[in-house]
A = this chain, B = another copy of it.
């Protein structure tokens, strides 16, 4: 079993256990990092356990000390990645109250994390639905939470600006714009997260923003 027991221990034993915990977690983190890159390059099914062990410099059998199965490894990656991006987002939103700026912060947070952790986010986007019942449910739950945050931001904006659009279509279009970048992003051409967040924020906010609920349509009907 992993060193996660919480029974009372002598101080020296506790210190040992602590350093042991650190060592265990650090090794696991190291494996997760390398596995993320391999999954990103070859896909979940395409990456073999032997690929993963080679990448992390640990023997095939040794890996199984840190997780029960290849599926759990993918789960740990997805859970950690999603957890981190949500935590970072909440931290940022605390300091902003203006509805538009909150949406812009959401976009920037997503893109910044996406570009700083391209491999992990590609795995998150691309290896979706590969996890079965137990693991899948857990990840889907975190994903719904993240989705709900975005919906709330848009609903609030919609209310204060008295706008009229389909929140669902808008949110999912926004996610599409942002998540698709793993297929095309090139640092040379496309600049950093701040620039992209500005451009996508402009497109998206103008897109949902210029039609008041008065009913005016600015598109010529075909």
Contact = CB atoms under 8 A, between A and B. Distances in A.
Interface of A: 43, 45-46, 98, 100-101, 104, 126, 128, 130, 165-166, 168-170, 172-173, 175-181, 183-184, 189-190, 196, 199-211, 217-220, 222
A126 B181 CA distance: 14
Nearest to A98: B220
A177 B196 CA distance: 15
A177 B177 CA distance: 5
A189 B173 contact: no
Contact of A199 (B98, B166, B176, B177): B166
Nearest to A45: B45
A194 to B, nearest CB: 10
A42 to B, nearest CB: 9
Given A45-B45, A190-B168, A203 B128 contact: no
Contacts of A43: 43, 45, 130
Contacts of A45: 43, 45-46
19 contacts: A43-B130, A45-B45, A101-B220, A101-B222, A104-B219, A104-B222, A169-B190, A169-B199, A169-B203, A173-B180, A201-B219, A202-B217, A204-B207, A205-B207, A206-B206, A206-B210, A206-B211, A207-B207, A209-B218
A172 B165 contact: no
A200 B219 contact: no
